[in-house]
Amino acid sequence: MDLWVTEKQTEIMAISYKVKKTLHSEKTEFQELAVVETEQFGRMLLLDGIIQTTIGEEFVYHEMMAHVPLNTHPNPKKVLVIGGGDGGVIREVVKHPAVEQAVLCEIDRRVVEVSRKYLPEISCGLDDPKVTVLYADGIKHVKENPNTYDVIIVDSTDPIGPAEALFTEDFYHSVAGALTKDGIMVAQTESPFVTPDLVLSCYKRISSALPLTKVYLAHVPVYPTGMWSITMGSKTYDPEKVDKTKISSYPTRYYTPEIHYAAFALPKFVQDLLNEKAK
């Protein structure tokens, strides 16, 4: 049998990977959850049929979500990850020497449990003594914890279904409220090629909540077009004014001090898109 998993990334574009076998499939309280083993990138996590991460290239997204804000903040002691139940971002967060406490707030307990079972290379960070896992609604959590976190990382699924509320101006204001006085947030904000309007609206919404907002890019093979945007909102620190020689050194596979800067060099069409903000 020639088995393939196909994600219709949009109504008019699809990506397919040859599958060795299906390891897990269930309908949780919140979504359809599956793990398949692909030939190209090894084990792959899907939520509602949308590829979330794979063993072969997960490091790009997880490192870029974690290390850019962590190395922009001079002392990120307390970090919150909203979503990200696979544990990949948390695994990166606890690498940073300044981090004392890392909280994962994931609404769907089954994502964590299944990731622990089938994606141990990704979920291993969840066992770190610095980590607390909460099975809770991230929106409620940030509202109930003002002035608490140095860095908040919004590792959401796409803005359809359960994650839609994680892309609203209201939510970003709650996140800003949950940050300490010099805190930093980042959120994954999709592809400038496929959903430029969404990239722009996230930029505008985060800008409305936090004074310094910048977009950076990473090459994520399994996401539509491979060009993925992450938007940072910061109260004080500018990610492009970090002293490169002071960036913490720990093992990474994508992130480097040079990549920290290079990621903010936006292609002209992305710059032009964000400049529409002024209009």
User: Which residues are tagged catalytic?
Assistant: 155
Shortest Å distance, C-beta 191 to a copy of itself: 8
Query: Applying CB under 8 A, does 262 fall inside the site for a copy of itself?
Result: yes
Q: Which of residues 144-203 bind a copy of itself (CB under 8 A)?
A: 193-194
First to last CA, the chain: 54
Helical residues (DSSP H) of the chain, grouped into ranges = 58-72, 88-93, 109-118, 120-123, 138-144, 169-178, 196-209, 257-262, 268-275
Q: Which of 46, 65, 263, 274 binds a copy of itself (CB under 8 A)?
A: 263
Query: Applying CB under 8 A, does 142 fall inside the site for a copy of itself?
Result: no
Length reported for the chain:
279
Smallest Cα–Cα separation from 72: which of 256, 229, 244?
A: 244
Q: Which of residues 199-238 bind a copy of itself (CB under 8 A)?
A: 217, 219-221, 225-227
Q: Which of 34, 35, 38, 133 binds a copy of itself (CB under 8 A)?
A: 38
CB neighbour list of residue 37: distance below 8 Å, 6 or more residues apart = 19, 20, 21, 22, 23, 43, 44
Shortest Å distance, C-beta 240 to a copy of itself: 10
Check residue 149 and report its DSSP letter.
E
Q: Is 221 exposed, middle or buried (0-12, 13-18, 19+ CB in 10 A)?
A: middle
User: Which CB atom, from 198 or from 227, has the smaller least distance to a copy of itself?
Assistant: 227
Q: Which of 40, 145, 236, 248 binds a copy of itself (CB under 8 A)?
A: 40
Contact set with a copy of itself (CB under 8 A):
4, 6, 10-18, 38-40, 56-57, 59-60, 193-194, 217, 219-221, 225-227, 252-256, 258-259, 261-263, 265-269, 271
